[in-house]
Amino acid sequence: MDFSNKNVLITGASRGIGKATAQAFAEKGAKVGLNYRSNEQAAQMTLMELAGEGHHLLRQDISEKTGPQELITNFVDHFGSLDILVNNAGISIFHDIEEVDFDHWTNAWVDTFKTNLFAVSNLCYWGAKAMMETGGGKIVNVSSRGAFRGEPTKPAYGASKAALNSMSQSLAKKLAKHHIHIGVVAPGFTETEMAAETLTPVERDHLLRESPFQRMAQPKEVAHAILFLASEGAGYSSGTIIDVNGASYLRS
* Predicted confidence (pLDDT) per residue in 43-60, tens digit: 999 999 999 999 999 999
Residue 231 has pLDDT above 90, yes or no: yes
Q: Is residue 115 part of a domain?
A: yes
Measured CA angle at 170 (ends 92, 151), to 5 deg:
25
Residue 95 CB-density burial (10 A; 0-12 exposed, 13-18 middle, 19+ buried): buried
Predicted TM-score (pTM) of the model is 0.95
Q: What is the pLDDT of residues 79-105, one digit of tens each?
A: 999 999 999 999 999 999 999 999 999
Of the candidates 221, 217, 193, which has an alpha carbon nearest to the alpha carbon of residue 20?
Answer: 221
Q: Is residue 249 part of a domain?
A: no
Q: Residue 198's pLDDT band (boundaries 50, 70, 90)?
A: low
Q: What is the pLDDT of residues 138-171, one digit of tens each?
A: 999 999 999 999 999 999 999 999 999 999 999 9
Cβ(222)–Cβ(246) below 8 Å: no
Q: Is residue 80 part of a domain?
A: yes
C-alpha 219/C-alpha 217 separation (Å) is 6
Q: Report the domain count for the chain.
A: 1
Of the candidates 95, 209, 156, 25, which has an alpha carbon nearest to the alpha carbon of residue 10?
Answer: 25
> Where does residue 167 fall: left (phi above 0), alpha (psi -120 to 50 degrees), or beta otherwise?
alpha
Measured CA angle at 202 (ends 197, 205), to 5 deg:
90
User: What residues are labeled active site?
Assistant: 157
Give residue 17's identity as a one-letter amino acid code.
I
Q: Is residue 171 part of a domain?
A: yes
Q: Is residue 2 part of a domain?
A: no
Range of the domain at 188: 7-244
Q: Is residue 127 part of a domain?
A: yes
**Alpha-carbon distances, residue 139 vs 16, 113, 121, 129, 230 (angstroms):** 19, 19, 11, 12, 7
Instruction: For residue 17, give the CATH number of its domain.
Output: 3.40.50.720
Q: Is residue 250 part of a domain?
A: no
How far is C-alpha 201 from the chain's CA centre?
A: 26
CB pairs under 8 A, 24+ apart, for 61-67?
61/37, 62/11, 62/35, 62/37, 62/89, 62/115, 62/119, 62/122, 62/123, 63/111, 63/114, 63/115, 63/118, 63/119, 65/122, 67/119, 67/122
Q: Is residue 251 part of a domain?
A: no
pLDDT at 94: 94
